[in-house]
């Protein structure tokens, strides 16, 4: 491998080809320390041309590539897997942001840009990029696109896919495809960019994107509410949709246990009591009548007996502290030791029975484990996580298998927004019809015939087709 590494050093310079184990370590494990794997080197190209040349060298030498952005992913997609020769290719140095066009409502950004920074640049010109995640201070444009990230505003604005107007990608042989047109409408043939959105680096490397912006909203109303049970939460969702549906931008569920975790682990306090479930509801609009409309909807909810307690933020600062409770759940969970992530979506009407079955089965399988349930109820997507406590790691796959089996029985998805990565690929293969699996494998074979792009993540290897 020496000629390969020499070629890369010549291309990138010694500072951006990391081979020292201590320098490489942060790139070889995920932030939760659930996944780790070896690599020959870490590549930190600074331009699309360097990405292209580095990928070309990898193809020539048969070395696999693991693309990496902010390394905030929750499915082990950005961590090397197995012992075949591989490198991690970090996009962290590619951080250029173009001048936004506030009338055309578009912005161009390189893949390594931190999502929060792009949002700030959009906000400075009176527009918004409403992709909102607790990880937005570290997640990159490339990672968000490669995972088709969701977040807390999907209910109103859609997932990352809905914001991508143009893409520049590097194919597995090093070819650069420049598709950075800032067009809202383009039906001139097959829209290939969707192959790369949500494919977790298995087909190529995203190097830049043109993103759609939306008008900024001038008012927002944020409420934290508590309800007794899930049927009350879903009825409340219906009430909000009926009365102020077009302004509803978040409808997030947090279990009382999850709120307690945030309180004990992160020292934040919830100003609302009672009920088994909490809801963080946000509405936004540029029209002046929003606060009165939200107030009237809450009064109707009280009258209908749906609410146990609640508070409506009276200032932007209060709105932010209510949101902090929701945004700290992942952090609070990680402070409780190892946990298993289950990122499920299913038809809302089946959610209650699904959660009850999990509760009952988990009690039998792992009595020391605790459920940590929260997420995007308005999208039918909950994070049904299991904090393991003293449960042996050896039964982790049985617990996850049990949850995923119940998801499949309810006609749901085992990954609503985080992707399959290396974590869910085996269960996806187990639970997905052969025709669908074979289609994925055939597309992978066409896109990446040598199987060098992020092997073992998102798509089964081509040898799995029988
Ligand atoms: P990474 O973790 O570096 O990579 C993720 C995947 O994308 C890997 O498979 C990697 O190989 C691939 N990839 C990265 N960059 C590229 C590229 N340029 N080209 C091709 N492939 C690439 N996700 C949600 O969907 N919704 C949420 O609400 C949400 N909240 C989160 C909250 C917290 C606190 C944390 C830690 C994570 C959260 N996530 C959420 C998961 C994660 O942040 C997102 O999936 C994010 O989009 C990943 O971006 P990243 O730059 O960190 O990607
Ligand atoms: C969220 O909704 C993220 O906050 C993270 O998707 C979920 O920690 C998780 O499981
Ligand atoms: Zn989520």
Write down the pLDDT at residue 114: 98
Q: Are 427 and 464 in contact (CB under 8 A)?
A: no
**219-331 and 337-419: identical CATH topology:** yes
Residues 6 or more apart from 15 whose CB is under 8 A from it?
none
pLDDT tens sequence across 176-187: 999 999 999 999
CA–centroid distance, 201 to ligand 1, in Å, is 11
Q: Are 146 and 69 in contact (CB under 8 A)?
A: yes
Q: The tokens of 253 are what? A: 């569920």
Residue closest via CA to ligand 2's atom 9 equals 330
What proportion of the chain, given as a percentage, has pLDDT over 90?
98
What's the average model confidence in pLDDT over 332-347?
Answer: 97
Write down the pLDDT at residue 180: 98
pLDDT tens sequence across 229-244: 999 999 999 999 999 9
- Counting ligand 2 atoms within 8 A of each CB, the residue from 30, 73, 133, 423 with the most, and so the one to mutate, is 133
Ligand 1: residues within 6 Å at CB?
Answer: 66-74, 77-78, 91, 111, 133-135, 139-140, 142-144, 146-147, 149-151, 200-201, 205-206, 330, 417-418, 421, 454, 457
Q: The tokens of 327 are what? A: 């945004």
Residue closest via CA to ligand 2's atom 6 equals 151
- Counting ligand 2 atoms within 8 A of each CB, the residue from 150, 343, 414 with the most, and so the one to mutate, is 343
Q: Are 351 and 234 in contact (CB under 8 A)?
A: yes
Query: Domain ranges in the chain?
Result: 2-90, 106-215, 219-331, 337-419
Architecture of domain 219-331: 2-Layer Sandwich (3.30)
Write down the pLDDT at residue 84: 92
Write down the pLDDT at residue 133: 97
pLDDT at 65 over 90: yes
CA–centroid distance, 37 to ligand 2, in Å, is 23
Provide long-range contacts, Cβ within 8 A and 24+ apart, for 389-396.
389/336, 389/337, 391/366, 393/338, 395/365, 395/366, 396/340
CA torsion angle 317 156 289 121 (round to 10): 50
CA–centroid distance, 287 to ligand 1, in Å, is 34
What's the average model confidence in pLDDT over 94-114?
Answer: 98
Residue closest via CA to ligand 1's atom 21 equals 201
Query: What are the phi and psi torsion angles at 88 (to 5°)?
Result: -100, 130
- Counting ligand 2 atoms within 8 A of each CB, the residue from 153, 259, 265, 329 with the most, and so the one to mutate, is 329
User: DSSP assignment of 249-317, as one string?
Assistant: EEEEEEEHHHHHHHHHHH----S---SSEEEEEEEEESSTTHHHHHHHHHHHHHHTT--SEEEE-SSHH
Average pLDDT, the chain: 97
In DSSP terms, 371 is beta-bridged to: 386
Q: Which atom of ligand 1 is nearest the CA belonging to 151? A: 28
Write down the pLDDT at residue 99: 96
337-419 CATH pick, 3.30.450.40, 3.30.70.2740, 3.10.20.30, 3.90.550.10: 3.30.70.2740
What's the average model confidence in pLDDT over 63-91?
Answer: 97
Write down the pLDDT at residue 275: 87
Write down the pLDDT at residue 464: 64
Write down the pLDDT at residue 318: 97
Q: How confident is the model at residue 274 (pLDDT cuts 50, 70, 90)?
A: confident
State which fold the 2-90 domain adopts.
Answer: 3.30.43
Q: Are 78 and 31 in contact (CB under 8 A)?
A: no
Write down the pLDDT at residue 465: 61
pLDDT at 466 over 60: no
User: DSSP assignment of 405-454, as one string?
Assistant: HHHHHTT-BSBSSS--TTTTHHHHHHHS-HHHHHHHHHHHHHH-TT--BS
CA–centroid distance, 403 to ligand 1, in Å, is 23
What proportion of the chain, given as a percentage, has pLDDT over 70?
99
Q: CA dist 345 to 18, 108, 121, 350, Å?
A: 39, 31, 32, 10
Nearest CA-CA partner of 390 in 361, 360, 363, 370:
370
pLDDT at 222 over 80: yes
CA–centroid distance, 146 to ligand 1, in Å, is 7
Q: How confident is the model at residue 392 (pLDDT cuts 50, 70, 90)?
A: very high
Nearest CA-CA partner of 457 in 167, 166, 448, 62:
448
CA–centroid distance, 71 to ligand 3, in Å, is 16
CA–centroid distance, 1 to ligand 2, in Å, is 39
Q: How confident is the model at residue 138 (pLDDT cuts 50, 70, 90)?
A: very high
- Counting ligand 1 atoms within 8 A of each CB, the residue from 27, 46, 68 with the most, and so the one to mutate, is 68
Q: Which atom of ligand 2 is nearest the CA belonging to 417? A: 6
Q: How confident is the model at residue 117 (pLDDT cuts 50, 70, 90)?
A: very high
Residue closest via CA to ligand 1's atom 10 equals 78
Q: CA dist 124 to 96, 117, 131, 293, 414, Å?
A: 16, 11, 16, 28, 38
Q: Are 67 and 457 in contact (CB under 8 A)?
A: no
d(CA 210, CA 166): 5
d(CA 346, CA 344): 7
CA–centroid distance, 374 to ligand 2, in Å, is 8
pLDDT at 403 over 90: yes
Write down the pLDDT at residue 92: 98
CA–centroid distance, 458 to ligand 1, in Å, is 13
Architecture of domain 106-215: 2-Layer Sandwich (3.30)
Helix 2-12, helix 48-61: angle, nearest 10: 170
Query: What are the phi and psi torsion angles at 277 (to 5°)?
Result: -135, 145
Write down the pLDDT at residue 153: 98
Q: CA dist 258 to 124, 319, 326, Å?
A: 35, 19, 9
Please, where are the H alpha helices in 147-224? 154-157, 193-196
CA–centroid distance, 74 to ligand 1, in Å, is 7
Residues 6 or more apart from 244 whose CB is under 8 A from it?
283, 290, 293, 294, 297
Ligand 2: residues within 6 Å at CB?
Answer: 74, 134, 330, 341, 375, 383, 385
d(CA 300, CA 294): 10
Q: The tokens of 401 are what? A: 């298998």
What's the average model confidence in pLDDT over 252-279?
Answer: 96
Query: What are the phi and psi torsion angles at 99 (to 5°)?
Result: -70, 125
What's the average model confidence in pLDDT over 240-253?
Answer: 98
């Amino acid at each position: 491998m020496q000629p390969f590494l020499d070629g890369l050093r010549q291309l990138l310079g010694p500072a951006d080809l990391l081979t020292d184990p201590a320098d490489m370590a942060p790139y070889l494990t995920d932030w939760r320390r659930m996944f780790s794997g070896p690599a020959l080197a870490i590549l930190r190209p600074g331009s699309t041309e360097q990405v292209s040349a580095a990928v070309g060298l990898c193809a020539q030498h048969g070395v696999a590539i693991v693309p990496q952005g902010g390394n905030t992913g929750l499915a082990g997609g950005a961590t090397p897997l197995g012992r075949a020769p591989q490198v991690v290719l970090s996009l962290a140095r590619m951080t250029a942001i173009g001048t936004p066009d506030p009338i055309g409502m578009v912005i161009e950004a390189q893949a390594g840009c931190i999502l929060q920074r792009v949002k700030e640049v959009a906000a400075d010109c009176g527009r918004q990029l409403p992709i909102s995640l607790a990880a937005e201070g570290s997640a990159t444009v490339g990672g968000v696109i490669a995972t088709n990230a969701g977040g807390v505003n999907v209910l109103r604005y859609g997932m990352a896919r809905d914001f991508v107007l143009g893409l520049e990608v590097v194919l597995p042989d090093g070819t650069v495809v420049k598709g950075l047109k800032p067009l809202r409408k383009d039906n001139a043939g097959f829209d290939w960019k969707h192959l790369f959105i949500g494919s977790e680096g298995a087909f190529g490397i995203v190097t830049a994107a043109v993103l759609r912006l939306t008008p900024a909203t001038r008012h927002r109303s944020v409420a934290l509410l508590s309800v007794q049970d899930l049927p009350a939460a879903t009825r409340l969702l219906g009430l909000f949709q009926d009365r102020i549906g077009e302004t509803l931008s978040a409808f997030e569920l947090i279990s009382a246990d999850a709120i307690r975790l945030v309180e004990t682990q992160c020292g934040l306090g919830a100003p609302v009591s009672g009920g088994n479930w909490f809801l963080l509801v946000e509405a936004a609009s540029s029209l002046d009548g929003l606060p009165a409309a939200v107030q009237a909807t809450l009064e109707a909810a009280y009258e209908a007996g749906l609410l146990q307690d609640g508070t409506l933020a009276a200032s932007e600062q209060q709105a932010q502290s209510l949101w902090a409770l929701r945004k700290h759940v992942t952090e609070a969970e990680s402070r409780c030791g190892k946990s298993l992530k289950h990122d499920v979506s299913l038809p809302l009407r089946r959610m209650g029975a699904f959660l009850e079955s999990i509760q009952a089965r988990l009690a039998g399988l792992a009595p020391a484990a605790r459920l940590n349930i929260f997420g995007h109820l308005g999208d039918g997507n909950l994070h049904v996580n299991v904090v393991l406590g003293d449960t042996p790691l050896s039964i982790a796959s049985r617990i996850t298998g049990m949850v995923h089996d119940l998801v499949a029985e309810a006609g749901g998805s085992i990954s609503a927004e985080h992707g399959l990565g290396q974590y869910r690929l085996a269960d996806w293969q187990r639970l997905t019809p052969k025709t669908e699996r074979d289609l994925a494998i055939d597309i992978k074979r066409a896109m990446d015939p040598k199987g060098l792009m992020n092997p073992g993540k998102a798509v089964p290897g081509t040898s799995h087709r029988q």
